Structure 1
């Protein structure tokens, strides 16, 4: 991809949901041409935050790639990047192994994504999925993804990336497939953050972003309380807060969901870092997740955000200071969304949007690294071409002198 192409970069987001990937791509300099998703409640936030972008509430299985291209006004080979995170329930480790099988209809959307790649022939492809997808079923889906993209003329690289290694305050491991049609052998994007700060003087990377570095400047609220628009509680005291904050000094979606009396009693009976095992016997529940009724600590990296983040019994989603679960804004911070992104819908719908989203900051940093690779390759090719031209010119002059 030439530097001129990089000045006019267009992207399409399949399975766009609320717009996690699109937000990251927009921050990296892309124009988002269109997004498509079957879930209207999730697409509502996408439309709200990308009002100039075509938002299609369609099932890609019923919407042919050719029809899609005509609808968005993109001819084959015109698009810079096609991105998407096909729904992954068939691969998820949350589904018991005995209920996972290769031809699960839930997994067909990965193949449909490849149909769109083969028809639209974008210069770049970015596909995200759960980490289990990469090696699941003996790696058969990975083999098919690589085979079909290579047959379509792409070079492909794939890896499982941890969002925390790219500045997102969350341990979230996801499989990424990155493909290029320009002949560049892409490498896995270099991490920008490291678990240990001891290596910083030598490498220049930053340490992982902690929970409090992510949300500590937001005002305290009681469960069931909060305001539609609220001011920040403090000046930003971390690089992450400076990165995501609004310039106007106020933020939305910082409202805490009300807890049932027993839920409140459970969270109030334990401290930061504690969980279900530390509850008084009379407050413990049978079964459930290992992190149920867990509270975060200020200095930890948050666990993976799920669509059930609104429920204290679904994981370690208790606030490290206030006796409550996280607000939508705090969840968005932990997911790497900027404060300018406003979520719409009910609280549980917004939680679902966030739990299913690709962290925008992760998408941004992955794509920015790819663009740097392409720019370096373009500059190297230009340098070689000029050297050849100079050599040819010099050789011709030598012949004339002789």
Structure 2
């Protein structure tokens, strides 16, 4: 057997738990999560009460001590995942092994230290898309080389979350590794760009296309800025497959409260139409500068831009609701990030926005994790069947 019993996973740099909830959907048991940010790991701890939530700096805890803490021996863990923050991209470092020596990359180095000590059956590392191709791939090649030295076969790929059912354009790099000598392929695309013929609303049985903003949040009730309730009933039955998946069996959800806007912020959003933004503001409401998408309003049929930790501020991006004069609620942001509606976020509005902006979309994590374990199991089964066939042929030859 490749795996036995329920697969176990540990999430380093877990944040609020984006990868973890995705792995849970893929059938994994989350053993532990570790993060240095108290405001972020609070949501992980709330939603994974049976997992160890370790609030600590990973660089100060040796992998050996960590294994004792969570009760894992080398080679026992099925999957180690993590998205270590990565900032050091210096072109002035000529030697191949200098990338990970940059202090800005200390967390990536620590992640690899944990990989080498825990020796999990599979590894999944997520990071910015630039990591894979930057500096003629020297950065990613160093990571691959270090994992290969430990007996892993590594595949790197850049995935756009929108291509896998997430209603958001978000490109990220994934390093998929395993100890079974299997060269994993990228997960096949499940959702495709829309054409002019795809303007009609999708029901539960149509071919999968990119999920639009309104398909993601259209069943959530209208609220005014500064209003909303801790517990909110849905405005309608689920209108499509995505809403049905996010809701499950729930009849109400949480975190659907709109942030109160300053008067000038409200006036700016109220002065423009869905699809418009900073350049469309009346002269008396213009700002001196800002992001190109600042004070932008979403449209119902668009795919949302990449959610950032600044999603709480209308001047930081296209976060205006396509119908109401307000920014998105935490539940709407969570929907665009593909967190299921049962997932509760704790902390202030800005804390929760930060958690979501830094999270890996759970649905994307589910797709990648399922593809990894299914492909490993399939290849290993093919090998066993081939060996069995050869054994039968040998016995027949002897007979």
2:243 and 2:290 map into 1 onto residues whose CA distance is 34
Shift of 1:8: 2.3
Q: Which residue of 1 aligns with 2:362?
A: 360
| SS of corresponding position for 1:134 | helix
Q: Provide the C-alpha distance between the structure 2 equivalents of 1:270 and 1:305, rounded to a whole number of angstroms.
A: 21
- The 5 A counterparts of 1:340-359 are 340-359=342-361
Deviation of the 1:388 alpha carbon = 1.1
Alignment of 1:7-86 (within 5 A): 7-86=5-84
Structure-2 change in CA distance of 1:199 and 1:123 (3 Å): farther
Secondary structure in 2 aligned to 1:129? Answer: strand
Paired residue for 2:336?
Answer: 334
Contact 1:123 1:180 in 2 (8 A): yes
Q: Is the 8 A contact 1:225 1:257 kept in 2?
A: yes
Deviation at 1:220, TM superposition (A): 0.3
Alpha-carbon deviation of 1:111? Answer: 1.2
Partner of 1:277: 279
Aligned-partner Cα distance in 2 for 1:65–1:295: 46
Q: Secondary structure at the match of 1:194?
A: coil
1:394 CA displacement:
0.5
Equivalent residue for 1:173, pick from 171, 174, 188: 171
Q: Is the 8 A contact 2:290 2:315 kept in 1?
A: yes
- Residue matched to 1:395: 397
Checking the alignment, whether the CA contact within 8 Å between 1:197 and 1:207 is kept in structure 2 is no
Q: Is the 8 A contact 2:277 2:293 kept in 1?
A: yes
Measure the CA separation in 1 of the matches of 2:378 and 2:248: 33
1:249-268 matches, cutoff 5 A: 249-268=251-270
Contact in 2 for aligned 1:87/1:109 (Cα 8 Å):
yes
| Deviation larger for 281-290 or 372-381 | 372-381
**Partner of 1:96 in structure 2?**
none
Q: Secondary structure at the match of 1:365?
A: helix
Structure 1 residue 49: Cα displacement: 0.1
State the alpha-carbon separation in 1 of the partners of residues 78 and 22 from structure 2: 15
Q: Which of the residues 327, 330, 335 maps onto 1:325?
A: 327
Cα distance in 2 between the residues matched to 1:6 and 1:250: 37
Q: CA deviation at 1:144?
A: 1.0
Q: Indicate how the Cα distance of structure 1 residues 199 and 193 shifts in structure 2: closer, same or farther if over 3 A, else same.
A: farther
What secondary structure does 1:254 align onto?
Answer: strand
Partner of 2:85: 87
- Native 8 Å contact 2:100 2:109 kept in 1: no
1:68 Cα deviation (Å)?
0.7
Give the whole-Å Cα distance in 2 for the aligned partners of 1:274 and 1:214.
Answer: 20
CA shift digits 1:272-330 (9 cap, x unpaired): 00000000011111121110000000000000000000000000010000000000000
Counterpart CA distance in 1 for 2:343 and 2:122 is 26
Q: Kindly state the Cα deviation for residue 376 of structure 1 after the two structures are TM-superposed.
A: 1.4
> Normalised by the size of structure 1, how large is the TM-score?
0.92
Deviation per CA, 1:26-68: give whole Å up to 9, x if none.
1100000100000011010000000010000010111111111
Structure 2 Cα separation of the partners of residues 23 and 307 of structure 1: 19
RMSD over equivalenced CA pairs, Å: 1.8
Query: What is the aligned partner in structure 2 of residue 218 from structure 1?
Result: 220
Distance 1:269 1:340, change over 3 A: same
Cα distance in 1, alignment partners of residues 129 and 177 from structure 2? 18
**1:151 and 2:156 aligned:** no
- Who is 1:299 aligned against? 301
Aligned partner of 1:375 in structure 2 is: 377
Is 1:311 matched up with 2:309?
no
TM-score by length of 2: 0.93
Q: How far did 1:104 drift?
A: 4.6
Q: Deviations over 1:208-228 (max 9, x none)?
A: 000000000000000000000
Structure 2 gaps, min length 5: 91-98, 199-205
In structure 1, what is the equivalent of residue 106 of structure 2?
A: 108
Q: Which runs of 5+ in 1 are unaligned?
A: 93-100, 398-402
2:256 aligned counterpart, secondary structure: coil
